[in-house]
Structure 1
Amino acid sequence: MRELLKLDRVTAGYGESIVLEDVSFTMNEGDSLALLGRNGVGKTSLLVTLMGLTRLHGGCIHWDGADIGRMTTHKRARAGLGWVPQERHMFPSLTVEEHLTVVARPGPWNLQKIYQIFPRLFERRTNMGNQLSGGEQQMVAIARALMTNPRILLLDEPMEGLAPIIVQDLVRVIRKLVEEEGMSVIVVEQHARLALSLTRRAIVLDRGRIVHDSDSASLLADGDKLDRLVAVA
């Protein structure tokens, strides 16, 4: 498969503060990756580094063969990086449908396809951003990223603070994206076993460095190792 993303000894952080050190990995088109680790080890920082929102102190980030280390965030989005931040960033003055159409770019993901996988958003399409539940806002955030027709989807804690029934809906959507749509996905998720069940590969960070890299299934099957690495039940 074609190589899509490559990090080569990336060291990055905020100002002079280093958060990620010597991080290297590659992803091919259609790969799915669970990015795991305890709180504060650099998982979110890795995603925002991919989007160009940290200071790159060393190493290279290659996207589809091109070095994007100095590329601006909006150009990375246009190049095909779709980011779903933890904060969701809803605009209270926009309807659900306006949230989706304002960022739309040509490609297979359009309103019709979005409403097929998120029927709840079709029902809420005229509601304003501040009239939605937390789960509905998360659906909008994912749908909005899909409307940019990305080649990779970066999901930062997509299940955080959501009701179980909403989590089930989002799990269904993410599994569909990975297994049926063949979309490249990186999932940052505190619920490690859930993330591993949705992805084919797993990376564990500790203090900004990669301390484990394997297929998701083998890590999921080794409960003792998983608990040692991420301290989850």
Structure 2
Amino acid sequence: MPELLALDRVSAGYGQSIVLEDVSFTMQEGESLALLGRNGVGKTSLLITLMGLTRLHGGSIRWRGGDIARVATHKRAHAGLGWVPQERFMFPSLSVEEHLTVVERGGKWDLQKIYQIFPRLHERRHNMGNQLSGGEQQMLAIARALMVSPSILLLDEPMEGLAPIIVQELLKVIRRLVSEEGMSVIVVEQHARMALSLTQRAIVLDRGRIVHASDSQSLLADGDKLDRLVAVA
């Protein structure tokens, strides 16, 4: 498979503060990656570095072979990076359907396909963004990112604070995106075992550095190592 994304010795942060140090990894088209680690180790910072929202202190970021280290955030989105931030960013003045149509780019994802995988959004299509439950807002955040027709989806804590029934719905959607749609996905998730069950590969961050890289299934099978790396229950 062709290379989709490659980070080579990336150091980045906020102003003069460096949060990520010497981070290197690659992803191929259609690959899925779990990004794990304790709180505050740089997982979210890595996602927003991919979107161009931190200060790059060193290294390179390649997207389909081209250097995007200095490319503006909106141009990265147009190039195929879809970001679902932890905050969700719902607009109270827009309906569900307006949230989707305002970003539509005419690719493989349209309203019909979105409503097929998120029937709840079809039911709520005339509701305003702030009239949705937390789970419905998360569905809308993912759906909105899909409407840009991304090649990779960056998911930041997609299951945080959601009811178990909603978590199961979202897990089915993410698995479909990976297995049926062939979409590349990076998942940041505190529930490490859940993230590993969704992905092919895993990396673990500690203090802004990669301290472990493996396939997801081997890390999931080694409970002692997983507990040491991410302090899960």
Superposition TM-score tier, normalisation by shorter sequence = over 0.9
Q: Does 1:12 align with 2:16?
A: no
Give the counterpart letter for 2:13 in structure 1: G
1:179 aligns with 2:179: yes
SS in 2 for 1:48: helix
- Aligned residue in 2 for 1:188: 188
Cα distance in 2, alignment partners of residues 178 and 225 from structure 1 = 26
What is the SS of the residue equivalent to 2:103?
coil
**Structure 1 consecutive aligned stretches of length 4 or more whose deviation exceeds 4 Å:** none
TM-score normalised by length of structure 1: 1.00
Match of 2:60 in 1: 60
Q: Which runs of 5+ in 1 are unaligned?
A: none
Distance across 1 between alignment mates of 2:20 and 2:47: 11
C-alpha deviations, 1:169-209, integer Å up to 9, x for none? 00000000011111000000000000000000000000000
Aligned residues: 233
Secondary structure of residue in 1 paired with 2:90: coil
Q: How does 1:163-178 map to 2 (within 5 A)?
A: 163-178=163-178
Task: Note the aligned Cα RMSD (angstroms).
Answer: 0.4
Distance 1:92 1:231 in 2: 38
Matches within 5 A, 1:135-214: 135-214=135-214
d(CA) in 2 for partners of 1:42, 1:130: 29
Unaligned runs of 5+ in 2: none
TM-score, normalization by structure 2: 1.00
> Which one-letter code corresponds to 2:53 in the other structure?
L
Output the CA distance in 1 between the equivalents of 2:204 and 2:181. 26
Q: Does 1:35 align with 2:35?
A: yes
Equivalent pairs: percent with the same residue? 85
Task: Give the whole-Å Cα distance in 1 for the aligned partners of 2:6 and 2:106.
Answer: 25
Matched, 1:218 2:208: no
For residues 107 and 63 of structure 1, what CA distance do their matches in structure 2 show? 19
CA distance in 2, matches of 1:15, 1:103: 30
| SS in structure 1 at match of 2:44 | helix
> Is the aligned partner of 1:26 residue 2:52?
no
- Structure 1 residue 106, shift from structure 2 partner: 1.9
